[in-house]
Structure 1
Amino acid sequence: MSERPVLLPYADPAFLADPFPLYRQLREEGPVRRVVAAGGLDAWLVTRYEDALAALSDPRLSSDVRDASDPRLLAQLPGTERESMLSNMLRSDPPDHTRLRRLVSKAFTARRVAQMRPRIQAVTDSLLDRIAPAGRADLVADFALPLPVTVIGELLGVPPDDRLDFQHWTDRMIMRGAEPPDPAVVDEAWQHMRAYVTGLIGDKRAHPGDDLLSGLISARDEERRLSEDELIAMVFLLLAAGYITTVNLIGAGIAMLLAHPGQLALLRSRPELLESAIEEFLRYDGPVNPGIARFAREDVEIAGTAVPRGATVLIASAIADRDPARFPDPDRLDITRQDNAHLAFGHGVHYCLGAPLARLEGNIAIGTALRRLPGLALAVEPDEIRWRPGGLRGPLSLPVTFGTGA
């Protein structure tokens, strides 16, 4: 294995548009590769499916960034009240992770999520009602983004007029490119977000409702099952995670269909394939890219490679999900694929809590758009589509045209 880290070129638009040729090369060269990832961070990239699956369940690999030896990781988080932002499920391990996850898990069971279908369908139809007469739209800004923002906002009890604000602050905190983020920009966004969340919690304390946030406040104030910092961090995580991957699933899923007209025609003719299509979108070009960061609690060996204590381990689900040892013909989009145990939502105790909701929103959004927007086509050349720069993958915009008769 080469000792020289491979640069993942997030400043290169061609790489952002299609990172998979380089990913394929890295996987073929070895199961674990040292890379320079988004934000200029050094990491050990796990590229093959079986190794990634094992790493996601390895207790020696921590989710807590405080276990990392690279000080730049903490430096990329807000400097003010950093502990508040770190007190969430995403960055904790058992037993704290188990306790925090249990507090919200009932809101995201398959049964509870299924009960949200009528409301998600109504929001979807309302958004399409606005754009359908025009014959053109940006399907990210006008559709894929406001849908999950509205759904998670309603679930948490966030007033409608405030929802675009938290989306804007979140993007400024988590957007990653080739260079480290500007600490001043991250700090300013976090201060706005924390002030907003603190005020929202205060309003809900005074006027509780039938929403998830009111339930979390009760768990904090009456049952003492989480601290104030944990409550703030939980609300931030649910607001951010509740929309960011879903907007990418919807936007990228439609982009994939437009880039593969045979698959688009097949799905239009056989809408019963929609569920398997969603799984294939997640495998083929999922919203987390290249993967999930963990931090070695101790010296550890992964696929025969010695990884030192404190190292950042980037478990590359996006690369593993195209491993030919696990998926036949992995670089082909196939919405009929059945054996599709992808890693787009992770694995193990940190498996994405919101996966049922993301799947349902993707199913309703993409299925309804295909029904209601006949003749759907890109309004620009494919190479003009701009993609997120790092860590999370999806089109930043998706200009399209369509017929106006539906």
Structure 2
Amino acid sequence: MTLPYGGDAWLVTRYSDVRAALADPRLSRAAVVNADVPRRQEMRVGPEGIMYMDPPDHSRLRRLLTRAFTRRRVEELRPKVESIAAELAENLARKGSPADFVEYFSWPLPTRVICELLGVPYSDRGVFRRGADALMQGDTLPHHEFTGRVNELVGYISRLIADRRQRPGGDLLSALIQARDDGDRLTEQELVSLTVVLLAGGHETTANQITNFLYTLLRHPEQLALLRRRPELLSRAVDELMRYIPLGTGHHAAMIATEDLEIGGVPISRGDAVYVHIHSANRDDAVFADPDALDLTREDNHHMGFGHGVHFCAGAQLAHMELEVALRVVLDRFPDLRLAVADDVIRWRSSLLVRGPLSLPVQW
């Protein structure tokens, strides 16, 4: 395919080929940083961060995150997430029907959770929401606005790191600072960029999926009714909704072949750019029976909604737990929940990285 900038690239769409490409060490993400490679937006990828690193540098940072998001630590967080979700559901109920689900529930929940995890003051959410929004929709913003918001976020995080060095706590940010200062396992730039990724990615993507999940269930009343009758399907439902709903419009940055290789029998030359289409892979009928149907009873659902390979989402377990809790609390608290407006009234994010309703008026 031909991209608006940088020329031609390969597009990988089948499930088996996407998995193979994402796991192939000969396809480099680091090679796209500040490079004139095939891309959909004028800006080049940068600055360097964990999403655009290859092993062994990526592995070094990944190990730090893996310890932070173990299954045990995520389960220890569950009661706190449940408490926050219950509080937000009551706030939504007090607001009265109809109300905007995005404003009163799906945005505050993951924002408060990531603030709790990192030790970031929730009162500062406006700063990192502006920065996160810019990172997720850089292609739709004027360049000066994009850089201004990102620089504001980086400046905020740098000041927060300096403050936490003086007054460390038991939060994840303090642990990362200790890894930087005592173990020399992080450079200062890596520490800042890793915190940006955690703060921005930790609430933006989950918030959009909470909204997407509810919207999709309300538009599939038979599946919603099934989930209400059989709440034991909740974990399976999260996986099926992750498979069924595209979080974004596809991978926004290419991978570059560092040597000649083949994908699905097609020769890829050294230096070629390769894109993978995860959402196409998640609808591959060679892997998923009736792939265009939402089926909350689907078993052995090996979707790639959280990615695959070395760049599989480090916070996947946390996101999965938050999505489970959000659905359970909302469906329990509002047994008659329904959309308050017609589909054509709902406005959607049009950014490159994430999709979801900007607001979702609901009633009960």
TM-score interval (norm. to shorter)? over 0.9
Equivalent pair of 1:295/1:313 in contact (CA under 8 Å): yes
State the aligned residue count.
Answer: 360
Counterpart secondary structure, 2:33: helix
**Which residue number in structure 1 is paired with residue 302 of structure 2?**
341
Q: Aligned to 2:321, which of 354, 360, 368?
A: 360
**Which residue number in structure 1 is paired with residue 266 of structure 2?**
305
Q: Which digits, 9 at most, give the CA deviation of each residue in 1:97-116, with x for residues without a partner?
A: 11111122111011110000
Tell me, yes or no, if structure 1 residue 400 matches structure 2 residue 362. Answer: yes
Following superposition of structure 1 onto structure 2, how do residues 5-404 of structure 1 map, counting pairs within 5 Å?
34=1, 36=3, 43-64=9-30, 65-66=32-33, 68-70=35-37, 76=43, 85-86=47-48, 88-133=49-94, 134-176=96-138, 181-291=141-251, 293=253, 294-389=255-350, 390-402=352-364
Q: Quick one: distance in 2 between partners of 1:41 and 1:137? A: 46
Q: Give the direction of change, closer, same or farther, for the CA distance of 1:74–1:299 in structure 2 (3 Å limit).
A: farther
Q: Is the deviation greater in 211-220 or in 66-75?
A: 66-75
Q: Is the deviation greater in 198-207 or in 311-320?
A: 311-320
Q: Is the deviation greater in 383-392 or in 274-283?
A: 383-392
Q: Which digits, 9 at most, give the CA deviation of each residue in 1:286-327, with x for residues without a partner?
A: 424324642322344322334444444221111110010110
Counterpart secondary structure, 1:115: helix
Q: Give the direction of change, closer, same or farther, for the CA distance of 1:72–1:337 in structure 2 (3 Å limit).
A: closer
Q: Quick one: distance in 1 between partners of 2:327 and 2:252? A: 26
Q: Give the direction of change, closer, same or farther, for the CA distance of 1:301–1:111 in structure 2 (3 Å limit).
A: same
How far the C-alpha of 1:212 sits from its partner, in A, is: 0.5
Q: Quick one: distance in 2 between partners of 1:401 and 1:129? A: 14
Q: Quick one: distance in 2 between partners of 1:228 and 1:212? A: 16
Gapped regions of structure 2 (runs ≥ 5):
none
How far the C-alpha of 1:165 sits from its partner, in A, is: 1.7
Q: Quick one: distance in 1 between partners of 2:273 and 2:107? A: 31
Q: Give the direction of change, closer, same or farther, for the CA distance of 1:388–1:71 in structure 2 (3 Å limit).
A: same
Alignment TM-score, normalising by the size of structure 2: 0.93
How far the C-alpha of 1:261 sits from its partner, in A, is: 0.5
Q: Give the direction of change, closer, same or farther, for the CA distance of 1:264–1:214 in structure 2 (3 Å limit).
A: same
Alignment TM-score, normalising by the size of structure 1: 0.83
Q: Give the direction of change, closer, same or farther, for the CA distance of 1:42–1:241 in structure 2 (3 Å limit).
A: farther
Q: Quick one: distance in 2 between partners of 1:291 and 1:198? A: 29
Q: Quick one: distance in 1 between partners of 2:293 and 2:39? A: 37
Q: Which digits, 9 at most, give the CA deviation of each residue in 1:196-215, with x for residues without a partner?
A: 01100011011101100001
Q: Quick one: distance in 2 between partners of 1:386 and 1:43? A: 32
